[in-house]
Amino acid sequence: MSLGVILFLALWGFFGWLLVHNAREAKEGIVVEGQAENKSSQTGPATAEENQPTAEEAEAGSVAKEAAVKGEGNSQEEMTQKGEKENSKGSEKENKAEENEEENEKQDGSGDFKNADQKKEVSPGLISWGHATGGRKAVDTVIVHSVYNSLGGEEYSLSKILDIFKRYDVSAHYIIAREGKVHQLVSEKHVSWHAGAGKMPDGRTNINSFSIGIELINAEDDKPTGAQYSALKNLISGIKSRHKIKYVLGHDDIAPGRKTDPWNFDWSKIGGKED
């Protein structure tokens, strides 16, 4: 054989072997891929049956759930009991606060009567003008005034008199109507603007800061009623039980020449003037 024939046969054999080898690798790749797909399909989404827990897992989950529910129930029960206790305490505090407030009113004059019978005689109608909450000193003086509606209409109308007070930004701690009804306008703890400029017998000024003002509804040409005298006497008695009163005076006593009230007033009907 010639050298050319030998080379041809060698090349032919090599190409034949290469074709057979490539075909075998392709076949093995298909087999491997198919096995992978089969394995994937076998280990794919779990069925309902496969998702069922084992008996041990089910028992453990049941115990855990029961414990959780029991714990939650205890927590709610404890919270309810705690809430009831807090509400009970809150009610007790409110009741105690009301009792203390009533007691304080009896003692310090914010309610302005020491006992229930006297307190019933006063109609509280605290106003929002004509007074100050600061600057209060120890109360030792009572000033008696007279007032009426001088601007037209019913001269003894309480509402019209209060309108005048509001217009001029003045007040009194108490005002006594013709029938003897006592109306409280300002707390005794606060400074009522009732006295204006004036001077006490001991030389003190700024009289509003240490005094309690009482207005009698009465005109200049009239005189107080018997019911007003009686109510005023009782009112002053109550004030004396709450404060160390040294002076009981008329408006004209602290501002002579400027004021002339209380008009036509008989001091003997309340036990006399204290000056």
Give the residue carrying structure tokens 């009981």: 248
3 state SS for the chain: CCHHHHHHHHHHHHHHHHHHHHHHHHHHHHHHHHHHHHHHHHCCCCCHHHHCCCHHHHHHHHHHHHHHHHHHHHHHHHHHHHHHHHHHHHHHHHHHHHHHHHHHHHHHCCCCCCCHHHHHCEEECCCCCCEECCCCCCCCEEEEEEECCCCCCCCCCHHHHHHHHHHHCCCCCEEECCCCCEEECCCCCCEECCCCCCCCCCCCCCHHHHEEEEEEECCCCCCCCHHHHHHHHHHHHHHHHHCCCCEEEEHHHHCECCECCCCCCCHHHHCCCEC
β-strand partners of 214? 144, 174
Which are the contacts of 105, defined by CB distance < 8 A and separation ≥ 6? 111, 112, 119
Is 102 a residue of the active site? Answer: no
Give the span between the Cα atoms of 246 and 158, in whole angstroms: 30
> Strand 174-176 vs strand 131-132: parallel, antiparallel, or unpaired?
unpaired
Catalytic residue among 59, 86, 92, 215: 215
Catalytic residues: 215
